[in-house]
Structure 1
Amino acid sequence: MAETAEPHDVGRHLLGPHVVGQRVVVRHLVPGERGPSGGPAMTDVLGTCEAWGDGVAVIAREGGSRVQVPIADIVSGKPVPPRPTVRLRMTPLEAQLRSLVMWPDVHTEQLGDWVLRSASDPVRRANSALAMGNPGVSFATAVRRVTEFYAERGTPPIVMVEADSDLDGEFAQFGWVPDRPEEPDTWFQVASVSRALRALRDIRRIDMELIDDGHRLEARVGEEAVARAAYDRDWLGLHALNVEPSRRRQGLALNLVAAMLEWGAERGATTVYLQVLADNEGALELYQRLGFTTHHAYRYLTPR
């Protein structure tokens, strides 16, 4: 006869018919087996609850297999948050590397995982060191090389770091400070291209000029609004979205974003990303409507 736990060992969980369709973790007895301490053996299963009834819970693992767990054998369990999408599981470094395609003339030099960047476009992202990951040398040596790299080009040394990361703290100990102290962190946000397009399907369309070089797109409404996009490996990047103050809240930004999303979708883009200052409430409200969520925050540092 299979061994079962004492009554007080089972049944104390947050599971039931209400968790069908949710991601759950379930700890249950393994009938007929003993654990390392000599008591009943137990095991865990993580997946989506597909059914709960007739004395059995059916859990679909993320790999595709299904486990039938007798409800009487459940020791503990609870709903857990959905697994993050692939785009959210990507590291900040991996996500930031997608943006290099924005600048066709950017010059880069690898320093371990770090990327030293320089371009004719004066935007800071293209003229700062992407200091994320392991530089492959001592931190002091890495900082010295960053300083030398930009001195050779006659520009001030600037690094982009993930906000409040270990590297952010190490730079602070070396005397590096925010490049623009009054500026908030920048949020790197991502969304599903298809979801964002659905949110824009009912907007009133306007005419605009599209300049397409195959990998990059510029969308323009006269001299009143402009935005740029770049495509790389199924990711679409949006940047430089600007609308004249007198024409804001008139649908120009929505039209620019829609045009760029459609252009990216035609090329196979499934993820769209952008970067926005944390205090830009108007833009954040717009992007939230389109399904964007914050992947990570970053800031720029320079020697004191």
Structure 2
Amino acid sequence: MQSAPEPHRGGHGLGPHVVGRRVVVRRLVPGETGPSGGPAMTDVLGTCLRWSNGECVVQPEDGPAVVIPLSLVVAGKPVPPRTSPRLRVSPRECQLRALALWPDIVTEPLGDWLLRDSATSTARRANSVMAFGPAGVPDAYERVVAHYERPVANVLPDSPEDALFRDHGWVTEGHEADTVFMMASSSRVVRGLPSGLTAATIEPAGPGLVRAVVDDVAVGFAAYADEWVGFRGLEVAPTQRGLGLALAVMAALAEWGAEQGATTAYLQVLGDNVAARRLYEPMGFAPHHSYRYLTPG
């Protein structure tokens, strides 16, 4: 014989189907009076562990689980999972942390903008102004133009800074897609890599920077700083692609980062690079923000 359905107050969208999901539950507090003179109520936010035997059990992020008799449930609903702490980091902080990938980079503040120069790298990230948010100083645009022989601006899409440079005739460099800054849990990256890959050799490449190589046909770089590990420069010889060498390089770099104590991993890839994103997404990498490079038209 089927058991009777669990009793609950109508109109709140809760039930056995929310077990395992994040929910908010409003409940009556017996014996207490609310500010308006009516019954007192309180909200519980957390993961629903159980909905049975006339009870709803909710596990908040902190503290013990809360057992709520269904007769006291007034309202409630499933809510989206809480955003990972790493995804709550600002784009500006992400970009500042990613400077570790260029150990020789020289930076100079321009108000809240940042002038970046490298004597050894031609990468745009190492030779451009990071203009995320207002500069907060006069003549910032003119000073950028004067600073660089070949000016490049790193901006967030459709931001006031994007509009500022475009108003001066700047255009997207190469008319390419925006770059996507992707992040993941470092341990998730390691778990997401298959076993049995070709072994890659780790070599020092600068302060806090290493490279992984496979027989001079595949290479990639990683840098560690403050519990973050970043990856760049993953390349495989055209004749050797499709053999799992990119995964072998990533495996070696990710394991190296985990050994250093990294909890967060990041990399940057062009948004229209479908092959690269297919490589990285199974490792847990998810988009954090996009940015673009502008140059004088």
Q: Equivalent of 2:154, from 152, 160, 168?
A: 160
2:109 counterpart residue number: 110
Question: How many Å apart are 1:134 and its aligned residue?
Answer: 4.1
Change (3 A) 1:24 1:67: same
CA distance in 2, matches of 1:203, 1:114: 45
Question: How many Å apart are 1:246 and its aligned residue?
Answer: 1.1
CA distance in 2, matches of 1:49, 1:257: 37
Contact 1:50 1:60 (8 Å CA) reproduced: yes
1:230 counterpart residue number: 223
CA distance in 2, matches of 1:56, 1:27: 14
Question: How many Å apart are 1:180 and its aligned residue?
Answer: 2.0
1:146 counterpart residue number: 144
Establish whether residue 262 from structure 1 lines up as the match of residue 282 from structure 2. no
Larger mean CA deviation between 219-228 and 286-295 belongs to 219-228
For structure 1, list consecutive stretches of 5 or more residues without a partner in the other structure.
1-8
For structure 2, list consecutive stretches of 5 or more residues without a partner in the other structure.
1-7
Establish whether residue 282 from structure 1 lines up as the match of residue 280 from structure 2. no
Task: State the AA in 2 paired with 1:217.
Answer: V
Establish whether residue 179 from structure 1 lines up as the match of residue 173 from structure 2. yes
CA distance in 2, matches of 1:296, 1:48: 28
1:135 counterpart residue number: 135
1:295 counterpart residue number: 288
Task: State the AA in 2 paired with 1:102.
Answer: L
Q: For 1:61-115, what per-residue CA distance to the aligned partner results, in whole angstroms no more than 9, with x for missing partners?
A: 2233544433233332221221122211111111111111111221111134321
Contact 1:237 1:272 (8 Å CA) reproduced: yes
Task: State the AA in 2 paired with 1:142.
Answer: A
Change (3 A) 1:10 1:34: farther
Question: How many Å apart are 1:16 and its aligned residue?
Answer: 1.4
Question: How many Å apart are 1:25 and its aligned residue?
Answer: 1.6
Task: State the AA in 2 paired with 1:74.
Answer: V
With structure 1 as the length reference, what TM-score do the two structures score? 0.85
Contact 1:162 1:297 (8 Å CA) reproduced: yes
Question: How many Å apart are 1:39 and its aligned residue?
Answer: 5.5
CA distance in 1, matches of 2:23, 2:161: 35
Change (3 A) 1:67 1:209: closer
With structure 2 as the length reference, what TM-score do the two structures score? 0.87
Q: For 1:232-284, what per-residue CA distance to the aligned partner results, in whole angstroms no more than 9, with x for missing partners?
A: 11111110111111111111111111111111111111211111111111111
Change (3 A) 1:55 1:279: same
Establish whether residue 220 from structure 1 lines up as the match of residue 218 from structure 2. no
1:3 counterpart residue number: none
CA distance in 1, matches of 2:73, 2:141: 54
CA distance in 2, matches of 1:303, 1:44: 54
CA distance in 1, matches of 2:200, 2:49: 48
CA distance in 1, matches of 2:64, 2:156: 38
CA distance in 2, matches of 1:242, 1:72: 61
Where do residues 234-249 of structure 1 align in structure 2 (5 Å cutoff)?
Answer: 234-249=227-242
Change (3 A) 1:243 1:59: same
Change (3 A) 1:12 1:180: same
Change (3 A) 1:145 1:39: farther
CA distance in 1, matches of 2:129, 2:246: 30
1:33 counterpart residue number: 33
Task: State the AA in 2 paired with 1:163.
Answer: P
Task: State the AA in 1 paired with 2:84.
Answer: T
Establish whether residue 190 from structure 1 lines up as the match of residue 183 from structure 2. yes
Alignment length, in residue pairs? 288
Question: How many Å apart are 1:58 and its aligned residue?
Answer: 2.6
CA distance in 1, matches of 2:290, 2:82: 21
RMSD of aligned residue pairs (Cα, Å): 2.4
2:12 counterpart residue number: 13
SS at match of 1:194: helix
Question: How many Å apart are 1:212 and its aligned residue?
Answer: 5.0
Task: State the AA in 2 paired with 1:147.
Answer: V
CA distance in 2, matches of 1:169, 1:69: 53
Contact 1:203 1:254 (8 Å CA) reproduced: no
